[in-house]
Amino acid sequence: MNEQNRDLKIDAGIDPDNQPAPSGGPHRSTRLRLWVNWALALLTVLGAAFAVIYWVGAVMSTAACSEKPCQHLGPNGISPDVLLYGAPVVAALTVIVSFFTARRRWGIVVPVFALALLVTDITILAVTVAQ
């Protein structure tokens, strides 16, 4: 207590800013959401690396093809450059945008959408090379 404020109580050893959050409290869910968001955002970087490596492997597997047996290889209507260079661009944009959206409630949509784009990229490559 204080002479000027009789209702004021000060706890000597507790700092309200460094006080641990109660189990299941709002601080814990915010931190968990932040960790999941950043884990997914960094997973897009690994996914983009896998997409580029898969693309290079797919192109190298068709290196011995002549024009006649391999005339239907490659995606129709989609430039191979989009599939190659799009994956790292998606990953980089995901990490950059996650700096602004990671703490927001629906910020997890950004890395989930980016992962969906990368899975679509790899699926297109897999389907067109397997023909």
Predicted confidence (pLDDT) per residue in 57-84, tens digit: 877 776 666 666 666 565 556 677 788 8
Could you give phi then psi for residue 110, rounded to 5 degrees?
-60, -55
Q: Which of 85, 89, 91 is nearest to 110 (CA)?
A: 91
- Sign of the alpha-carbon torsion through 74, 76, 81, 82: negative
The predicted structure's pLDDT at residue 56: 87
Inside any domain, residue 84:
yes
How many Cβ atoms sit within 10 Å of the Cβ of residue 111? 26
Tokens of 66: 């002549």
Cα–Cα distance between 80 and 62 in angstroms, integer?
14
Domain that includes residue 90, residue range:
27-130
Say how many domains are in the chain: 1
The percent of residues in the chain predicted with pLDDT above 90, rounded, is 31
Inside any domain, residue 10:
no
Cα–Cα distance between 38 and 8 in angstroms, integer?
41
How many Cβ atoms sit within 10 Å of the Cβ of residue 47? 23
pTM exceeding 0.75:
no
Please work out, in degrees rounded to the nearest 5, the angle formed at the alpha carbon of residue 122 by the alpha carbons of 49 and 46.
25
Q: What average pLDDT does range 17-42 have in this prediction?
A: 73
Inside any domain, residue 22:
no
Inside any domain, residue 14:
no
> Cα 38 to chain center, whole Å?
7
Residues 6 or more apart whose Cβ sits within 8 Å of residue 127: none
Inside any domain, residue 7:
no
Inside any domain, residue 113:
yes
Q: What average pLDDT does range 92-103 have in this prediction?
A: 91
Inside any domain, residue 88:
yes
Inside any domain, residue 76:
yes
Cβ(52)–Cβ(87) below 8 Å = yes
